[in-house]
Amino acid sequence: MKIYNTISKNEEEFKPLKNNHVGFYTCGPTVYFYAHIGNMRNYIISDLLERVLLKNKYDVKHVMNLTDVGHNIGDGDLGEDKIRDEAKKEHKTPEQIIEFYSSAFFEDTDKLNILKPDVISRASENIKQIIEFIKKLDEKGYLYKTKTGVYFDTSKFKEYGKLSGSNFKKLNEQQIGGARVERPEGIKNITDFAVWRFSKPDEKDMVWDTPFGKGFPGWHIECSAIANEYLGQQVDIHYGGHDHIQVHHTNEIAQSEALFEKQFVKYWVHVEFLTVDGKKMSKSTRNIYTINDLEKRGFNPLSFRFMTISVHYRKMMNFTFEGLKHSDEALKSIYAFISKISVPNEKTGKISKEFSKTIEDYKKLFFELVSDEVNIPNAIIKMHEMINYSKKDLNKEETSLVLNTLIEFDEILGLDFKRYLSNKLSKAALELIKERELSRKEKDFESSDKLREKLLKEFSIKIEDTKEGSIWYKV
Ligand SMILES: [Zn+2]
């Protein structure tokens, strides 16, 4: 299996640190609002990566944090805490905000068929570990106090900035040269960041008493501490958005490597941005969409998943509703194919040598592609080719070979192919479906509509007509 490593800027052969075991860390969401489709691209890709690792028979431990404290609105440790700010706006407590938006997040990930990580851990559940981490960093002389918090002195970590191919000096000069240098009072270097923030006297929720003062953790320290708690001092794969390279992940490396004096992460994997109609998503351009917004417009969330996985994760993805419509149609045509060929086939016979070899070749190619830098887009092209090749009069055995192969592909793609299998439906329901197909062919739309209603009412089977024929599934 091959993987692109941000730190080496190379595609590398994947080899875990220890035997077959893979420690996999994903930076989770800050649960202060609904996640948008750009966030969801991140988690769909992280899911693909996990599925590819599992398919390659690695023993994966996937850990994801939930940021419920310590993520400030502005870059560079400025501004209010995002969750506290939203709580004020909605006249709720921070806990209510966290509860509400984390369940909204997992509802979305379920709709997108994203596997749940093995460990999901909140920052606030790891305060003890975070304090321990900070204490040890302090003993090693990496920290200093200001009026507002405890800061990491980035000048003391020799390799600061290596993830983005930069260094301490360059990063500090770059930012000094920038138009706006807004940094907290009393810090020594522009790149220094808070590992602990002191709370204001009126802040009562989500604050903890510690030897270095009352307050709450900074954002970066939570990932270092949680990764250490569940995966140890070294992690095989650390995954996150491209926008985290220069600050968040750079600071994670500084903390973890300063403390443990060994390589923190073997492979850094980053997903590129998502734009909407060619523009960055922002409140001012009103182009922020959530999964719920797509559903309101009648789209299956899995059509968005299909659209996302059809673009390589290291490329920018441009979302448009036109594009989503294309993906929706393409996905439905696959569902229609599955619905159609999985109707129990009376025709028995042998699988011809040529047919079985061709399907085997497609299968081999598909899995080679997904294991080569998660090249799902090209693997999907191969799947389409296989489907087209199989659009002929197949016998029972050939049909099941094609279906089994598609179901196996879906272990990676996560598009719910099994839902559209007709051979799971009762005989009576299938008879009605066939009858309806016939009335449609004869353009007897009145009967066909009646049969559609009957199927829904009596069998909870929904029928949708697409360009490629009808699809049916249990609701
Ligand atoms: Zn993180």
The reported pLDDT for the residue numbered 177 is: 59
**60-78: per-residue pLDDT in tens?**
999 999 999 877 776 566 6
Question: In angstroms, what is the span from residue 268 Cα to ligand 1's centroid?
Answer: 12
pTM of the predicted protein model? 0.94
**338-375: per-residue pLDDT in tens?**
999 999 888 988 999 999 999 999 999 999 999 999 99
Q: How crowded is residue 297: how many other Cβ atoms within 10 Å of its Cβ?
A: 10
Question: In angstroms, what is the span from residue 265 Cα to ligand 1's centroid?
Answer: 12
Instruction: Tell me the residue type at 128.
Output: K
Question: In angstroms, what is the span from residue 21 Cα to ligand 1's centroid?
Answer: 21
Question: In angstroms, what is the span from residue 223 Cα to ligand 1's centroid?
Answer: 5
CA distances from 453 to 300, 399, 405, 431, 438 (A): 21, 29, 33, 14, 16
Question: In angstroms, what is the span from residue 226 Cα to ligand 1's centroid?
Answer: 9
Asked whether the predicted pLDDT for residue 180 surpasses 80, the reply is no
Across the chain, mean pLDDT equals 94
Question: In angstroms, what is the span from residue 312 Cα to ligand 1's centroid?
Answer: 22
**131-166: per-residue pLDDT in tens?**
999 999 999 999 999 999 999 999 999 999 999 999
Orientation of helix 321-341 relative to helix 396-413, angle to 10°: 150
Per-residue exposure over 421-447, b if at least 16 CB sit within 10 Å of its own CB, e if not: bbeebeeebbebbeebbebbeeeeeee
**22-41: per-residue pLDDT in tens?**
999 999 999 988 999 999 99
Orientation of helix 321-341 relative to helix 376-389, angle to 10°: 40
Question: In angstroms, what is the span from residue 70 Cα to ligand 1's centroid?
Answer: 12
The reported pLDDT for the residue numbered 76 is: 60
With residue 138 as reference, give the H or E element that holds it. Answer: helix 127-139
Question: In angstroms, what is the span from residue 472 Cα to ligand 1's centroid?
Answer: 42
Token pair recorded at residue 136: 């040890």
Question: In angstroms, what is the span from residue 248 Cα to ligand 1's centroid?
Answer: 6
The reported pLDDT for the residue numbered 82 is: 85
Question: Closest by alpha carbon to 71, among 224, 215, 222?
Answer: 222
Question: In angstroms, what is the span from residue 119 Cα to ligand 1's centroid?
Answer: 14
Question: In angstroms, what is the span from residue 123 Cα to ligand 1's centroid?
Answer: 10
**405-426: per-residue pLDDT in tens?**
999 999 999 999 999 999 889 9
Residue of higher predicted confidence among 182 and 265: 265
* CB-based contacts of 147, cutoff 8 Å, min separation 6: 185, 186, 198
Question: In angstroms, what is the span from residue 302 Cα to ligand 1's centroid?
Answer: 26
The reported pLDDT for the residue numbered 183 is: 76
Question: In angstroms, what is the span from residue 217 Cα to ligand 1's centroid?
Answer: 13
Q: How crowded is residue 117: how many other Cβ atoms within 10 Å of its Cβ?
A: 23
d(CA 402, CA 352) in angstroms, rounded, equals 13
Can you name the residues that pair with 122 across neighbouring β-strands? 66
Question: In angstroms, what is the span from residue 107 Cα to ligand 1's centroid?
Answer: 22
Question: In angstroms, what is the span from residue 220 Cα to ligand 1's centroid?
Answer: 6
